[in-house]
Amino acid sequence: MVFDADDTERQPPQKLPVPEHVQEAIRTLIRWSGDDPQREGLVDTPARVARAWREYCQGYEEDPAIHLDRRFAEVGGYDEVVLLKDIPFQSHCEHHMAPIQGKAAIAYLPRDNVVGISKLARVLHGFARRLQIQERLTAEVAQCIWDNLKPQGVAVVIEASHACMSARGVRTPGVSMITSRLHGCFLEDSRSRKEVLSLMGY
C-alpha cells in the first residue's frame, strides 16, 4: 500500500463550534416533539441542526448588492433585455421555518452597462438564504438590481412551492405560488412589460 507523503498531516475539516445553549434549545424541541434527544440516533443531531441552519441562513452575513459592483460597459451596442431564467433557489419560510423551493426569472434592460450573469443568481441567493416570505424576496431582488445597476427596467418573477402548505396545515402538495415585481419601463410601458413577461414564459 502506498501512502501520500502528506497523508500523515491531513486533518479533517474543522467543524463550526456550536454553543451549548443552542444545542440545548434543539434538544428541547426534540423532547417537545416526543422523542429522546439522548438516544443514539439523536445524540449529535442538535449540533448538526445548528450548523445546517447557519448554512441555510448565511445570507445574513453578506450584502447581496456587492455582487453588482463590477460592471461592463463594452457591450457592442447591445441595448435589449438581459434575462436569466429558471434560477433554482431554496429559502425558508419565516412563519414556520419550513423550506421554500422554486425558481426565479430575473431581467433588466441595461442603460449604460451590464453585469456578469452569475451575479444575478448571487443576488437571489443572498436574499433567499434568510428567513423569508416569497413576496419580500421578490421585492428585495428587484429593488437591489434597480438601485445598484440603475437600468431602464427590472423584472423579477419567482415561482415556488412552500412546505408550510404542502407538509402541514392544509397539506396540499403540488401547488406553486407566483410573485412578480417590476420597475421602470417594465412597469410603466405595457409593450415592454408584455415582452419581458413573454420572454420569461408568463
Please say if the pLDDT value at position 151 is more than 90.
Answer: yes
CA distance 165 to 193: 31
The per-residue b/e assignment along 49-81, b for 16 or more CB within 10 angstroms, e otherwise, is bbeebeebbebeeeebeebbeeeeeeeeeeeeb
Q: Is the pLDDT of residue 76 over 70?
A: yes
Reported confidence tier of residue 84, pLDDT bands at 50, 70, 90: very high
> Which phi and psi angles does 156 have, rounded to 5°?
-130, 125
Q: What's residue 7's pLDDT?
A: 54
Question: For the residues 93-107, what does the mean pLDDT come to?
Answer: 98
* Contact call for residues 42 and 36 (beta carbons, < 8 A): yes
- For residues 78 and 85, what is the distance between their CA atoms, to the nearest angstrom? 19
Residue 2 has pLDDT above 80, yes or no: no
* Backbone dihedral region for residue 36 (phi beyond 0: left; psi -120 to 50: alpha; all else: beta): beta
- pTM greater than 0.85: yes
Instruction: Write the CB contacts of 64 (distance below 8 Å, at least 6 apart in sequence).
Output: 122, 123, 126, 127, 140, 141, 144
CA 162 to chain CA centroid, Å, is 14
Mean pLDDT of 126-138: 98
Positions annotated as catalytic residues are: 93-96, 134, 162, 164
**DSSP at 167:** S
3-class secondary structure, 142: helix
Q: Tens of pLDDT along 12-71?
A: 778 889 999 999 999 999 999 999 999 999 999 999 999 999 999 999 999 999 999 999
Q: What is the pLDDT of residue 65?
A: 97
Mean pLDDT of the chain, nearest integer: 94
The cell for 6 is 502528506
- Give, as one character, the DSSP assignment of residue 114: B
